[in-house]
Chain A
Amino acid sequence: MQHSKDDNSLPALVRRLCGQDVAACYQCGKCTAGCPMAAQMDQPPHRVMRLVQADDADAQLTLLSSPAIWSCAGCLTCTQRCPKGLDPAAVMDALREMSFQRGLVSKAQRRVLAFHRSFLATIRAHGRMGEFGLVRRYKLASLDFFSDLLVAPAMLKRGKLPLLPHRIRGRDEIRRIFQRTAQRTQEASHE
């Protein structure tokens, strides 16, 4: 299928973001059969592929606000096994990117969103991830204060929780990378 640059259908946007032509999917369900997270998903992977193909307004909203896309672990089992050589994991990434950029992330997935935001804020500030800063940010963003209270002291004892972040010298380069790529993803993710 050909998509022009002005084609803002969901299949065209997915194709621009990750190069995948979802029209090739013939719904065999092999992606779902091997997916370790399918049991957690409201729309399992083969249904996600079908909804991208359907491309009506309802399907778009269902997909971009679905909890399912945020349950993909990125393990690539689907991609490895697709008999059409498609990359459903990359389609999941493209849908998450659109969902994130358009502010449509499912409320049920606020912990995943909080984790992603905390992770990005940590590397944007320091250039590297440090568990202490990441968990501190995550707790504040998710309001999930009570889980794993005993893990931090146990990690500290084992030398697994350095309290101070490693800050790289090229932090201004990292900020520039975040700024430049933010422009591009905004352009690519919106109709």
Chain B
Amino acid sequence: MSELGYYPGCSLSGGGIELDLSVRALAERAGLGLREIEDWNCCGASVAHAVNHELAVALPYRTLALAAGQGFDEVLAPCAACFSRLKGTAVRLGRDPALVARMADVTGRQYSRPVRVLNVIEFVDRLLSNYDLAAKLGHPLAGLKVAPYYGCLLSRGEGIVADDPEQPSAMVRAIHAAGAEPVEWNFATECCGAGFSLSKTEAVIGLGDAILSAAAEAGAEAILTGCPMCHSNLDMRQQTINAAGRGPHRMPVLYLTELLGLAAGLAPETLGLNRHFTDATGIRAGRS
């Protein structure tokens, strides 16, 4: 059985735990082994790049150097922010040998060979194409209408995301494979306020309300994401948004891997659906 390097990132043992649970469960169901990179560190998230451009590269560099040293050609980073930081760094290192040398000096570690970084959409695509997932998908979600929500970091970044940044479609194949139906809507790549959940809660309430409203107007029964920050701002903050007099919204927010896991017959608790703030345990085949 082949193995993929796994970089869960910090959120996946806390607020984003459902993403970790559903990624691991789905990989196991499809027959792909995940092996965690030993002693990985935080990627710097939305903070390091705002205050120190060298730190913002050095932190992901150490993890990439560890992955290379531990023999990984490819690493899965399910969190959209981790993916953007790790892949952005890998792309820059590939273009700039002087940066590689400087980072080796700063970190004391060699980046011995290039490492490819996969996001959660590419991971699901891989399971559908090269592993045994497609054969295990039933139709418990037939007709369920979902709003594919890419947000910022799964739609943008030159050299980082291959999809069309204004009209992304990478999630569509997985949605169809799960038997669900993507809705057309205008907020697929809008920003949710990302790391401002604590420090600019008012802004996050406004942006989240607009996204939740647009999904409901488009007829979606759930929003589909690949980012723990988006999930937190739309799922956990949904009650803050409602308490602020907006909505009221009752929109389940699912990770792409939770949707595929349900289609593959995995139990909601195995995937973490019982841990959401906005009830998502009743997700099943569409209303129509």
Chain A residues in contact with chain B, CB under 8 A? Answer: 17-18, 36-37, 39-40, 71-77, 79-80, 93-94, 96-97, 100-101, 111-112, 114-116, 119-120, 123, 127-131, 135, 138, 142, 147-148, 151, 154-155, 158-162, 166, 168-170, 173-174, 176-178, 180-182, 184-185, 188
* 11 further interface pairs, Cβ-Cβ under 8 Å (given A73-B196, A112-B200): A36-B190, A74-B152, A96-B50, A119-B45, A129-B11, A131-B14, A168-B41, A170-B41, A185-B53, A185-B55, A188-B53
Number of B interface residues in the complex (CB < 8 A): 57
Residues of A within 8 A of B156 (CB): 75-77, 79-80
Residues in chain B near residue A176, CB distance under 8 A: 107-108
In the assembly, what is the distance between CA of A50 and CA of B111, in Å?
39
CB distance from A99 to the nearest CB of B (A): 9
- Contact residues of B between 196 and 255, Cβ < 8 Å to A: 196, 198-201, 203, 206-207, 236
Could you tell me the distance in whole angstroms from the C-beta of A53 to the nearest C-beta in chain B? 21
Which 8 residue pairs are nearest across A and B when measured between Cβ atoms?
A75-B191, A75-B152, A129-B10, A181-B54, A76-B156, A111-B199, A158-B275, A181-B55
- Interchain nearest-CB distance for B91 vs A (Å): 14
Smallest CB-CB separation from B276: which chain A residue?
A: A158
Residue numbers in B under 8 Å from A79 (CB-CB): 156, 158
Inside 8 A of A39's CB, which chain B residues have their CB? 206
CB-based nearest A residue for B165: A80
- Which A residues are CB-close (under 8 A) to B15? 131, 155, 160-161
Q: In the complex, what residues of B have CB within 8 A of residue A184's CB?
A: 54, 106
Query: What's the nearest-Cβ distance from chain A to residue B107, in Å?
Result: 6
- How far in angstroms is the closest Cβ of chain A from B233? 11
Q: B70 an interface residue at 8 Å Cβ cutoff? A: no
Listed by A's residue number, 8 A-B pairs whose Cβ atoms lie within 8 Å are A36-B190, A73-B196, A74-B152, A80-B165, A123-B59, A176-B108, A178-B55, A185-B55
With A97-B50, A120-B48, A185-B52 as contacts: A162 and B58 at CB distance below 8 Å: no
Is B130 interfacial (CB-CB < 8 Å)? no
Q: Give the docked Cα–Cα distance between A111 and B40 (Å).
A: 29
Q: Does B46 contact A (CB under 8 A)?
A: yes
The answer to whether A168 and B39 have CB atoms under 8 Å apart is yes
* A147 CA / B193 CA spacing, docked (Å): 18
Question: B42 — which chain A residues lie within 8 A by C-beta?
Answer: 123, 127-129
A159 to B: closest C-beta gap in Å: 6
B195 CB within 8 Å of chain A: yes
Q: Does B264 contact A (CB under 8 A)?
A: no
Cα-based distance from A168 to B39 in the complex (angstroms): 6
B-side contacts of A138, CB under 8 Å: 198-199
Question: Which residues of B are interface residues toward A (Cβ below 8 A)?
Answer: 10-11, 13-15, 17, 39-42, 44-56, 58-59, 62, 105-109, 151-153, 156-158, 165-166, 189-191, 193-196, 198-201, 203, 206-207, 236, 275-277
Give chain A residues whose Cβ lies under 8 Å from the Cβ of B10.
128-130, 166
**Shortest Cβ distance from B101 into chain A, in angstroms?**
14
Q: Do residues B41 and A160 form an inter-chain contact, with CB atoms below 8 A?
A: no
Residues of A within 8 A of B39 (CB): 127, 168-170
CA distance A96 to B56 in the complex (A): 13
Q: How far is the CB of A121 from chain B (nearest CB, A)?
A: 11
> Closest approach, in angstroms, between the C-beta of B159 and any C-beta of chain A?
12
Check A135 against B198 for contact (C-beta < 8 Å): yes
- B254 → chain A closest CB, angstroms: 15
Q: Please indicate the chain B residues that have their CB under 8 angstroms from the CB of A160 in the complex.
A: 14-15, 17, 275
Assuming the A-B contacts A128-B41, A148-B198, A151-B236, are A166 and B52 also in contact, with contact meaning beta carbons closer than 8 angstroms in the complex?
A: no
Q: Which residue of A lies closest to B190 (CB)?
A: A36
Could you say which residues of chain A place their CB within 8 Å of the CB of B151? 75
Residue of B nearest to A169 (CB): B39
* Chain A residues, Cβ within 8 Å of B52: 97, 100, 181-182, 185
Give the distance to chain A from B276, nearest Cβ to Cβ, in Å: 8
